[in-house]
Structure 1
Amino acid sequence: MFTIGLVTVASIWPSRLNADSELGMLLGFDSERIAKTYPVKDVASAGEMAKLLYRLDRLPIEKIEQIADLDQGQMTISVSDALRIKGKIEEISLITVPEKLVEFLEMERFVRLQIASEDSDDRSAVEVFTSRLPSDAVVGDRVRGVGICLNKSGGAVATAPLQWFPASPKNVGWKLLSEAGVDVGSLSSVAARNRKPLTGEDTEIFYHMLAAAADMKDHREAPKPIHAVDLLRDPIAYTGEWISLEVETIQITRIAVVEPTRQQQLGSDHYYQIDAIGDLGNIVVEIAPTKDSGGKPATFENRYPVSLVCKTLPAWLEERIEQQAGTDSIVTPLTVPVTIDGFFYRLWSYSSEYMRQFGGGDQFGPLVIVANVTNREPSDADIVGVRRIGWIAAFAMGLGIFALLLWSFIVARRDRAVAQRRHQREAEQLEFPDESL
């Protein structure tokens, strides 16, 4: 398998993070040009703002954050400085992009909102412009982001797409992720990549969810019990959901995390991928071959591959790996029935030898980011218990057979007695002919 290397807002004072206008230079917006973007009061200013947002969206967010961190301690704010913002939505509206720019910018409108500081001592409103916001975002939801200062007071900021933390998440998984600081707004784009390989677009949220799941080993929120076929039938409905799934492990691989940024984000230089099999019940899954390959559909009956990833393994599983392959093992074949709790990520695709037998094409399967792995093998106590139950059952069966034989014997004796009495009565009542006649 492939390994996974008008909304009103309460405002917030942005954190001051001056970077000597480096961000403005990268974007091609000096102070004079930024002055043409704000306030957005006509077609010309709307067009300039749309162009600024277009460029912000195409600059790596890590780079903007890097710039923002360079001079966080300065006391003054200047136009084109990098600013962090965080707060609660109070107001939101949409601004139309000039028609002549729509095709070029691939944007028909952008978002204007105000946010309120979560700090009760600071109620200064910040006007925020961003290219988009999740369609489910409402007043009261929290947002967080980084962008470029539009005025000297820091009260207006143009940002890269904001992170979104809904006040009323649609399910338990979204609630847990939001509380852990994971950008729930990114899940819609994750779902849009179903049945596609993992790409750079997955990197940020994948590692964030992997780190968040590791902190939820003892979480009391009950996961939603599901079957593998549920994830195949409706993956979008389960994206980010907190689930429980029974599978059987096949192979465990330790994956190295090389990039320092991801090591810091994850808090580790590796994680684990578990290749497993989930039960399909009576469902048969067919994957069509590639076009013009002439192959037949690949068929899966009863069981289907499921991919699991986790930051760490439970002690019992580490011990099992050490016993079987040693502590330095990278890949360990290991078959164990387990129950996992975790977050469904999406269906991902990967090349496989099995699919090549049917004309090629990628196989797709569920990818789950795991918090807990529980062994479903019977324990010694369970085995003793089963034996005791077997002995009791055998004894009960023996008693049953004995009782049946005893009942048959009693019934047989009773039947013989009844027959004998009947014959006696018949003999007394019938007049037999005289033998002398």
Structure 2
Amino acid sequence: MSGWRNRRATATVRNDRNTQILVALLILLVGPTHAIGESDLRLLLGFDSERIKQTWPADNEDSIGELAKLLYRIDRISSGKLDQIAKSDAQRDARVLGDVVMVAGVIQSIRSIAVPPQLVEFLEFGRIIELRIEQDPVGVGPAITLFTTGLPTAAKSGDRVLSKAMMIAGTQNGVLQAVAAPRVTWLPATPRRVGWQLLSQQGVDLGNLAAVAARNRKPLSHEDTAIFYDLLVAADGIEGSNTAPRIQVPRPASINAVDLLRRPTDFTGEWIQIDLQTIQLTRIEVQDTVRQEQLGADHYYQIDAIGDLGNVVVKIAPVEGSGAEPALFEKRYPVSIVCKTLPAWLRQRIGEPENDDAVVTQLTIPVTVDGFFFRLWSYSSEYMRQFGGGDQFGPLLMAAEIHSREVTDPDPIGVRMIGWIAALATGIAVLGLLVWSFIVARRDREVQRIRKQHEAEHLQLPEQNELDSRSE
């Protein structure tokens, strides 16, 4: 019986997948002239109104199974597509099942629902998270039920969540009853780190940071894309702009390259400060229109720099089987910085307008960088090719502020100080010589006076007859 149920579940899931593929092909064939192909999530997912009704309430195996299948498909819809559908659905006079709505509020309770065992292998997740959410404005109206597969394990009651979600139950007294959502944006009430607090204030989904830390020493991939741009925008927002004031931030934790290499997971998303020396500036073009909209620009900058290692020597093992020696890094180590905009002093220094098409600029400047640590990322380099061709890994930071430590005064204070000390020493020497000459002269006069006095006291006059005889 169990085997028959598994075979039946397998066939059902396969049929669902085939239906989804056929629907996607139909949408491509119909083209943009049919609005439903662009805006109706029900058609895109292969769930009509009647099938959506079978997901709620999720209180038995059949309804939970249908809900799990719905969430499986929702998780594979891009955020950009959901945004597009949400804008279209918002133009309707009345909400209907399958519409995409925005949900924002505070978690009241969290419950885990087991997915039917026969579906776990195919859906690739074993639980559904049920959240009871008190929607904004908090305290107004009843709570809403939100189902999702993506909630950080650290989330708890009192934390805020945001998500675009699909209506799976109608309204009651004008309030939504239940929605199904892809991964929600998690904004903890009490972030553990200063950096997390700053990111949360700017709406960054902290739930993605754990996944970022798990990809240390790996190349950047599509999994990094959304959170990469989120942190890039958040870092730029720290400094402020003409339309937004500068965020009041605490002093960043002062660290060095060794700290990031030894304990990268401890610093993921953290607000840090590090001293570096720049090597090269590269303008990176953003081709994806969705990311351009997210970034608010069609480019950003990458600065290749080096950080001090002190007496630490870093060894990177060669590619297995290459027979090469480990790559050694002494005294300094490569660090990568990315930023949405360049500080005014740097634009002036390189003579590059903000919208210039220049791609690469060589520059060597000692700087102090305040920003968010992303992770250790790996990349190919000419240096590593000398040791068997393995990838090099290094820290990647999103810069909020970049301060120059370069001495720009033509007469640095150190030079002036040396001059002052030399002049003072010369003056003291001359004064000492004069004082010594005065003391020596005074002593000579005193000795001469004493000698004359001594001679006068011991002067012997001749006898009177001798004087008389001499006078004759």
TM-score, scaled relative to structure 1: 0.84
Task: Please state which structure has a larger fraction of its residues in helix.
Answer: 2
1:258, distance to aligned residue in structure 2 (A): 2.0
Distance in 2 (CA, whole Å) between partners of 1:19 and 1:152 is 21
Contact 1:258–1:269 (CA under 8 A) maintained in structure 2 = yes
Residues of 1 paired with 2:36 and 2:181: CA distance?
16
Aligned to 2:21: none
Change (3 A) 1:188 1:405: farther
Supply the distance in 2 between the matched residues of 1:44 and 1:71 (Cα, whole angstroms): 29
1:216 partner amino acid? I
Q: Does 1:175 align with 2:204?
A: no
Match of 1:343 among 362, 372, 389: 372
**Match of residue 105, structure 1, among 118, 123, 126:** 123
> Which secondary structure state, in structure 1, belongs to the residue aligned with residue 170 of structure 2?
coil
Q: Which amino acid aligns with 1:314?
A: P
Moved more, 175-184 or 260-269: 260-269
1:322 to 1:128, Cα distance in 2 relative to 1, 3 A: same
Cα distance in 1, alignment partners of residues 236 and 129 from structure 2:
35
**1:388 corresponds to 2:416:** yes
Give aligned-pair identity as a percent: 52
Shift of 1:384: 3.8
Please show how residues 208-287 of structure 1 align to structure 2 within 5 Å: 208-217=230-239, 218-221=246-249, 222-287=251-316
1:49 aligns with 2:67: yes
Asked if structure 2 preserves the Cα contact closer than 8 Å seen for 1:24 and 1:148, the reply is no
Q: Which residue of 2 aligns with 1:205?
A: 227
Mapping for residues 102-181 of structure 1, pairs under 5 Å: 102-120=120-138, 122-153=140-171, 154-181=176-203
Q: Distance in 1 between matches of 2:185 and 2:358?
A: 38
Using the TM superposition, give the Cα deviation of residue 397 of structure 1 relative to its aligned residue in structure 2, in angstroms.
Answer: 4.5
> Which segment is superposed worse, 332-341 or 258-267?
258-267
Distance verdict in 2 for CA 1:195–1:384, change over 3 Å = closer
Instruction: Give the match's secondary structure for 1:49.
Output: helix
Please identify, of 38-47 and 20-29, the stretch whose mean Cα deviation from structure 2 is larger.
20-29
2:465 matched residue in structure 1 = none
Report the Cα offset of residue 406 of structure 1.
10
Contact kept in structure 2, 1:240 and 1:345, CA below 8 Å: yes
1:300 match? 329
What TM-score, normalized by structure 2, do the two folds share?
A: 0.78
How far, CA to CA, are the matches of 1:400 and 1:43 in structure 2?
96
Residue 206 of structure 1, CA deviation: 1.3
Is the CA contact (8 Å cut-off) linking 1:87 and 1:117 kept in structure 2?
yes
- Deviation, 1:395, is 3.6
**Are residues 1:315 and 2:333 paired?**
no
Higher radius of gyration, 1 or 2: 2
Cα distance between partner residues in 1 of 2:432 and 2:227: 68
What is the CA distance between 1:77 and its match in structure 2? Answer: 1.8
Give 5+ residue unaligned stretches, structure 1. Answer: 1-17, 415-437
In structure 2, the residue matched to 1:424 is none
Shift of 1:352: 0.4
Match of 2:460 in 1: none
What corresponds to 1:376 in structure 2? Answer: 405
* CA-to-aligned-CA distance 1:122-172 (integer Å, 9 cap, x gap): 323110000131111111111011121111213100100101111101111
User: Which residue identity does 1:124 align to in structure 2?
Assistant: P
Encode CA deviations 1:275-307: one digit per residue, 9 max, x unaligned: 000111111111111111111111100100000
Amino acid of the residue matched to residue 83 of structure 2?
Answer: E
Report how far residue 399 of structure 1 moved. Answer: 6.4
Question: Which residue identity is paired with 2:376?
Answer: L
Shift of 1:73: 3.2
Matches within 5 A, 1:416-431: none
Contact preservation (8 Å) 1:19, 1:81: no
Q: Distance in 2 between matches of 1:71 and 1:39?
A: 24
Distance 1:400 1:50, change over 3 A: farther
Residues in 2 aligned to 1:405 and 1:92: alpha-carbon distance in whole angstroms: 88
1:237/1:408 Cα in 2 relative to 1: closer, same or farther (>3 Å)? farther
2:373 aligned with 1:355: no
1:253 deviation in Å? 0.7
> Is the counterpart of residue 63 in structure 1 residue 81 in structure 2?
yes
Match of 1:193, SS state, is coil
Q: Is the 8 A contact 1:19 1:71 kept in 2?
A: no
Partner Cα separation in structure 1 for residue 214 and residue 120 of structure 2: 23
SS at match of 1:70: helix
The one-character-per-residue Cα deviations of 1:240-279 (angstroms, maximum 9, x if unpaired) are 1111110000000111122222222111111111000011
How much is the aligned-residue C-alpha RMSD, in angstroms? Answer: 2.6
Shift of 1:400: 7.3
For 1:405 and 1:349, the matched residues in 2 are separated by 67
* Runs of 4+ residues over 4 Å off in structure 1: 18-21, 396-410
| Conservation of the 8 A alpha-carbon contact between 1:19 and 1:70 | no
Q: Distance in 1 between matches of 2:313 and 2:126?
A: 44
Q: Specify the SS of the correspondent of 2:103.
A: strand
